[in-house]
């Protein structure tokens, strides 16, 4: 399995730094990954939904730590590249997909 596309949408919130969508093997898309600024740097929060008791449950997530670390490293690298592009004034490449992170479920931090 490989990530064949990563799309990053930056945010300028205190902890929420952006959203990511990934495409796996040009066949399967996972949207709503959150890029969060933690105490030791950015990390990825998986897409989740709010349960009746107020807690959140991941909708999609890696099964093992190796996959989580690999996925997080790829997404964080793409995020840093997008931040550099934004700081240099470059425009992000146009997207033909509807990738509006505002329509995704959001979690409060």
User: According to the model, what pLDDT value does residue 106 have?
Assistant: 44
Decide if pLDDT at 108 tops 50: no
**What's the pTM?**
0.78
- In the structure, what pLDDT confidence band is assigned to residue 91 with cuts at 50, 70 and 90? low
- Within 10 Å of residue 34's Cβ, how many Cβ atoms? 22
- In the structure, what pLDDT confidence band is assigned to residue 98 with cuts at 50, 70 and 90? very low
101 Cα distance to chain centroid: 10
Residues 30-88 pLDDT 10s? 999 999 999 999 999 999 999 999 999 999 999 999 999 999 999 999 999 999 999 98
For the chain, domains (ranges, CATH) are 3-90 (3.30.1120.40)
């Amino acid at each position: 399995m490989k990530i064949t596309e990563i799309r990053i949408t930056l945010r300028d919130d205190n902890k929420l730094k952006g959203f990511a969508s990934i495409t796996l093997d040009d066949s399967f898309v996972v949207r709503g990954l959150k890029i969060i600024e933690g105490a030791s740097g950015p990390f990825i929060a998986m897409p989740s939904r709010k349960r009746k008791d107020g807690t959140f449950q991941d909708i999609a997530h890696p099964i093992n730590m190796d996959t989580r670390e690999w996925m997080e490293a790829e997404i964080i690298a793409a995020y840093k590249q997008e931040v550099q592009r934004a700081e240099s004034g470059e425009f992000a490449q146009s997207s033909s997909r509807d990738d509006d992170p505002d329509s995704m479920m959001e979690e409060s931090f």
